[in-house]
A and B are shown apart, each in its own frame.
Chain A
């Protein structure tokens, strides 16, 4: 699945000429020099909490095109709450026997698509309190469950969306 050339070495070596850095490690693990050694317009997701692998300002200064973190005080917050409520809502509504890869892919696409034509470097992920998210994820996950044969019952995805809209109690920002 990874590293078919069996490359050895520390992060600062293997990060050279890559396009995307995904950090789920420890604060400060990524330096500006490492970002500068990546290909043009590198994309950085630095999700160590509470201190990201690199601070967004440093990543930008080193040439990052997009930087996301786990924190609410910076743009592009990677927050699980965008996924799990809608995923289980959709899975439960079709009485799914499992949550499979198709359903996870559908959830990721549903979240991404909500950004739409408002897409900018500082807005690649919807806000955690965007009330459209759980309904959209639920309906797409329900649809993917039915299409991939893990749904015990068939439902109308639009109905799943409408019902989730009614169930959510979060306030619009």
Chain B
């Protein structure tokens, strides 16, 4: 373990992080410059001005995801802030590229304010084909995701919620095959009402599970519980 820690620190230090930008078009001479930049670049600009959807044809947007965090719930480390969260976001981008050829850019924001985060991401919409929200604490993560889904026209995906939920449910599909039970018959208890727990409950509901109880550190969550509630817990208890 000590070895892994030292090696990880060394790897990040010698490379000064994990990401760099890469131009798909090499810039070697005057001709390259006039095609990639002025004056040639005006042609795709005009094409997109005439038809905004052409931005997907002539720019990186269609393969570019923003990996957005406020550093408020990073791994098991907690609220460590945007700078300290950046290595995780760079790592996420490396995985996006390595596993599926998805380009992405880490964006660590210097605010925990819901309105500021929502507005910032909305203003970045022209540049990105999608947004992966990462390591943002509950319950803000739910509000931010809900608002961005309503107020933008690109995919918004909070991976800590849905990534975990999707893989858990995938495992459960097969586990149920082994035990000969079905989603509509099972009783489920979920412990932990953070981002992942809530998303798992919602996805299980979509798979037909109707008998579920969610617990937090104060025990079973029920409609009208007078202590330790938030809007999302109220919603799943309805």
Contact = CB atoms under 8 A, between A and B. Distances in A.
Closest 4 CB pairs of A and B: A167-B101, A80-B163, A25-B192, A85-B99
Given A84-B96, A84-B163, A14 B188 contact: no
Most buried by B among A1, A8, A45, A50: A1
B162 A19 contact: no
Interface of B: 53, 56, 62-63, 65, 75-76, 95-102, 129-130, 132, 149, 153-157, 159-160, 162-179, 181, 185-192, 194, 196-197, 200-203, 205-207, 212-215, 217, 219-225, 235-238
28 contacts: A2-B212, A3-B222, A6-B223, A11-B191, A14-B189, A18-B187, A22-B190, A41-B181, A43-B176, A45-B171, A47-B168, A47-B196, A65-B175, A68-B171, A82-B166, A84-B157, A87-B163, A92-B102, A95-B129, A96-B130, A97-B153, A98-B154, A98-B155, A99-B162, A108-B166, A124-B172, A169-B97, A169-B98
Nearest to B235: A1
B101 A168 contact: yes
A95 B128 CA distance: 11
Contacts of B170: 82, 107-109, 111-112, 125
Contacts of B238: 1
Chain A, interface size category, equals 35 or more
Nearest to B56: A95
Nearest to A25: B192
A99 B155 contact: yes
Contacts of B201: 1-2
B227 to A, nearest CB: 11
A59 interface: no
Contact of A97 (B154, B176, B194): B154
Contacts of B157: 84, 87-88, 91, 99
A89 B171 contact: no
Contacts of A97: 153-155
Given A81-B99, A108-B173, A109-B170, A41 B155 contact: no
Interface string A1-40: 1110011111101110111111111100110000000010
Contact of B167 (A79, A85, A121): A79
Contact of B194 (A13, A24, A85, A96): A24
A36 B211 CA distance: 20
B104 to A, nearest CB: 8
A170 B53 contact: no
B187 to A, nearest CB: 4
Given A1-B235, A2-B214, A99-B157, A104 B166 contact: yes
Given A1-B235, A95-B62, A119-B174, A81 B95 contact: yes
B189 A11 contact: yes
A41 B179 contact: yes
Contacts, number: 266
B192 A124 contact: no
A105 B207 contact: yes
Most buried by B among A2, A39, A83: A2
Contacts of B178: 65-66, 119-121, 124
A24 B191 contact: yes
A159 interface: no
Given A3-B212, A18-B189, 18 more contacts: A2-B214, A11-B189, A11-B191, A14-B213, A17-B187, A19-B188, A22-B189, A29-B191, A81-B99, A84-B132, A85-B102, A92-B63, A92-B102, A109-B173, A111-B167, A111-B170, A124-B171, A169-B98
A30 B166 contact: no
Given A84-B96, A105-B207, A3 B191 contact: no
B169 to A, nearest CB: 4
A162 interface: no
